[in-house]
Amino acid sequence: MREKALILGAQDIERVLKRISHEILERNKGCGNLVFIGIQKRGIPLAARIAENIKNFEQSQIPVGKLDITFYRDDIGKSIKPEVNITDIPFDIKDKDIILVDDVLFTGRTIRAAMDAIIDLGRPRSVQLVVLIDRGHRELPIRADYVGKNIPTSINELIEVRLKETDSIDKVTICDNK
């Protein structure tokens, strides 16, 4: 896999997440009814960072949950190996406005699986989607509400998101999938 270009550096990621944090507050008119759910694995630190930003802006702590969607995927055994992680949502999602967070939006299948998983946990008032990168190539009618950066890609390219919490470095690169 050959790295072709750096899309976002550490400071860029910080700026993007701050902007998204403001957008979430603006659209929801505050944060009273919000909860964050990060999708395993890099959605979780992103959700935590946005929650931390909002705490700094509004002095309000928003709960953050972890969601693993492996059991809800429709592509296990095709190209995806069943790597199972923990789901830990220690709060009631009933009637909440859920901010669902993931690193890359691609085909939309992960988000569809995440929504199925969430609905099994309770009935939220709404689900809004945050992604750091939207790379296109949707196979399902799914659109993000908050996008860090749109990166039109070819199907042979890969977006690599690296975060301090999981990879010791903050950067987003585009790579050749060879």
Partner 1 sequence: MLAGSSLLRIDDLEPGDVEQILHNTDSFVEVLERKVKKVPALRGKTVANIFFEPSTRTKNSFEIAAKRLSADTINFSSSTSSLKKGESITDTINTIIAMKVNLLVIRHGHSGVLNFLSDRIDLPIINAGDGKNQHPTQALLDLYTIRQKFSQVEGLKVGIVGDYLNSRVARSNVDLFQKMGMEVTVVAPSMFLPGDIKVTKARVAGSIDDIIHKVDVLYMLRMQLERQDRKFYPSIREYNRFLSLNSKRMTAMKKNSMVMHPGPVNRGIEISEELMERITTDKQLANKVFIQKQVTHGVAVRMALLYLILS
| Contact (Cβ atoms closer than 8 angstroms) between residue 135 and residue 104 | yes
152 binds partner 1 (CB under 8 A): no
Distance CA(178)–CA(175), nearest Å, equals: 9
Distance CA(178)–CA(158), nearest Å, equals: 10
Site residues for partner 1, 20-49, by CB under 8 A, read: none
155 binds partner 1 (CB under 8 A): no
Please select the residue that binds partner 1; options are 28, 60, 70, 107, rule is CB under 8 A: 70
Q: How far apart are CB 117 and partner 1 at their closest, in Å?
A: 8
Q: How many helices (H) and strands (E) would you count in the chain?
A: 4, 8
**DSSP collapsed to 3 states, 128-155:** EEEEEEECCCCCCCCCCCEEEEECCCCC
Site residues for partner 1, 76-95, by CB under 8 A, read: 76-77, 82, 84-88
Site residues for partner 1, 118-137, by CB under 8 A, read: 120-122
- Of 51 and 67, which CB lies nearer to partner 1 in the complex structure? 67
Peptide bond into 41 cis (omega under 30): yes
Size of the site for partner 1 (CB under 8 A): 17
Residues forming the site for partner 1 (CB under 8 A): 68, 70-72, 76-77, 82, 84-88, 116-117, 120-122
